[in-house]
């Protein structure tokens, strides 16, 4: 169901879109609402829906994004919809971690009855060839045309699913792409009530570790000993790791015995994890590693934060990791 937005809340978190030059380079800057209004007033032919604006504090370069800020953002979005009665939300965000935030918020806003678009810019508003107003106005118009409930990315005229997206380019046009990942999971069916967008969320501790040839198991041990509740293990190909190394396998077995959830995702840009294809993958499964299927790093991180932040049991989190909640495991 899509209906044209009547009242959009614009949430400004910082990012290049509103940055201004400082002595040390581009830095987040306040005052974006007035600049946005002025450029829209100068183009009366653009029929964008009514909007109100909120600057989230602190304004950040999204390189400083954190799970704590995701909570702030989630609360602001829920407040905009439930209290301010906005029927759509537009989040202005730095591009560096935009795909992470959009994915994380997809899992934290399950059931939200309104569309949420994330956008930003590669070049600041006002700079030569800036894409700031193109993205901002395009996103407002897309919401005005009507969007389905839930989170999407809007960038350079494209609407993209956050549970499949990554920033694949650090310059120029179309920096975000929906990766050609496999599915790997079936739909969840009934959503546990704890995952509803109105439920409070706590912060979780999730680690991410890539495997490389010559991987030193002490690194894995150190990450597992750092107090994390879950680890995303970035494996090779369809989900393999150095399983001939008994220390590696033992560390993973111990992780499961200590209640740490380990999820394998692939380092490949396309495809996904299928742990039973190779013996080197099946051994991971045997010691409790879960398959992240075709999940991107962004989706897996957001999903684990979403699941662990609502106090589900270890077994329930493990069950839900391999089921599709919002498109992250559908082919």
Residues designated catalytic: 16
Q: Which is nearer to ligand ASP, 86 or 98 (CB)?
A: 98
Query: Helices 67-82 and 98-108 meet at what angle, rounded to 10?
Result: 60
Chain residues 145-204 in contact with ligand ASP, contact rule CB under 6 A: none
Q: What is the CA radius of gyration of the chain?
A: 21
Q: Which is nearer to ligand ASP, 23 or 63 (CB)?
A: 63
Contact between 122 and ligand ASP per CB under 6 A: yes
Q: Which is nearer to ligand ASP, 29 or 159 (CB)?
A: 29
Q: Which residue is nearest to ligand ASP (CB)?
A: 94
Contact between 95 and ligand ASP per CB under 6 A: yes
Give the total residue count for the chain.
331
Q: How far is the CB of 27 from ligand ASP (least distance, A)?
A: 10
Q: Which stretch binds ligand ASP (CB under 6 A): 51-59, 90-98, 185-193, 263-271?
A: 90-98
Q: How far is the CB of 61 from ligand ASP (least distance, A)?
A: 4
Q: How far is the CB of 142 from ligand ASP (least distance, A)?
A: 20
Chain residues 29-68 in contact with ligand ASP, contact rule CB under 6 A: 61-63
Give the C-alpha separation, 68 to 41, whole Å. Answer: 35
Closest by alpha carbon to 108, among 195, 47, 167?
195
For residue 278, the 8-state DSSP code is S
Residue pair 247/279 in contact by the 8 Å Cβ criterion: no
- 323: part of which helix (H) or strand (E)? strand 323-324
E runs forming strands in 34-149: 50-60, 88-92, 115-119, 147-148
Q: How far is the CB of 171 from ligand ASP (least distance, A)?
A: 10
Q: Which of 70, 80, 96, 260 binds ligand ASP (CB under 6 A)?
A: 96
Q: How far is the CB of 16 from ligand ASP (least distance, A)?
A: 3
Residue pair 267/292 in contact by the 8 Å Cβ criterion: no
3-state secondary structure of 49: coil
Contact between 120 and ligand ASP per CB under 6 A: yes
Q: Which of 94, 150, 162, 306 binds ligand ASP (CB under 6 A)?
A: 94
| Strand 290-291 versus strand 261-266 pairing type | parallel
Q: How far is the CB of 115 from ligand ASP (least distance, A)?
A: 22
Number of residues forming the site for ligand ASP (CB under 6 A): 10
Q: Which is nearer to ligand ASP, 62 or 152 (CB)?
A: 62
3-state secondary structure of 13: strand
Give the C-alpha separation, 148 to 88, whole Å. Answer: 10
E runs forming strands in 179-241: 186-187, 206-210, 230-235
Q: Which of 12, 16, 90, 100 binds ligand ASP (CB under 6 A)?
A: 16
Residues forming the site for ligand ASP (CB under 6 A): 15-16, 61-63, 94-96, 120, 122
């Amino acid at each position: 169901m899509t209906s044209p937005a009547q009242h959009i809340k614009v949430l400004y978190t910082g990012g290049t879109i509103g940055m201004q030059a400082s002595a040390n380079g581009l830095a987040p800057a306040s005052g974006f609402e007035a600049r946005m209004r002025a450029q829209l007033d100068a183009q009366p032919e653009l029929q964008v829906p009514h909007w109100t604006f909120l600057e989230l504090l602190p304004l950040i370069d999204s390189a400083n994004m954190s799970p704590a800020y995701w909570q702030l953002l989630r609360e602001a979005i829920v407040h905009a919809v439930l209290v301010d009665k906005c029927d759509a939300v537009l989040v202005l965000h730095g591009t560096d971690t935009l795909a992470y935030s959009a994915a994380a918020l997809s899992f934290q806003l399950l059931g939200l009855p309104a569309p949420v678009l994330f956008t930003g810019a590669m070049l600041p508003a006002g700079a030569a060839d800036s894409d700031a107003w193109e993205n901002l106005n395009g996103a407002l118009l897309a919401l005005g045309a009507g969007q389905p409930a839930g989170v999407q990315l809007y960038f350079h005229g494209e609407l993209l699913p956050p549970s499949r997206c990554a920033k694949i380019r650090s310059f120029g046009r179309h920096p975000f792409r929906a990766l050609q990942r496999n599915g790997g999971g079936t739909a969840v069916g009934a959503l546990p009530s704890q995952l509803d967008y109105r439920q409070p969320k706590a912060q979780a501790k999730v680690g991410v570790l890539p495997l490389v040839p010559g991987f030193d198991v002490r690194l894995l041990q150190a990450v597992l000993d750092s107090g994390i509740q879950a680890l995303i293990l970035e494996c090779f190909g369809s989900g393999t790791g150095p399983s001939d190394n008994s220390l590696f396998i033992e560390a993973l077995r111990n992780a499961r015995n200590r209640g740490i959830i380990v999820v394998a995702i692939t380092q490949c840009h396309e495809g996904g994890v299928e742990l039973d294809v190779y013996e080197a993958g099946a051994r991971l499964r045997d010691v409790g590693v879960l398959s992240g299927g075709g999940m991107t790093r962004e989706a897996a991180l957001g999903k684990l934060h979403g699941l662990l932040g609502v106090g589900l049991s270890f077994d329930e989190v493990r069950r839900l990791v391999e089921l599709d909640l919002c498109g992250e495991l559908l082919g």
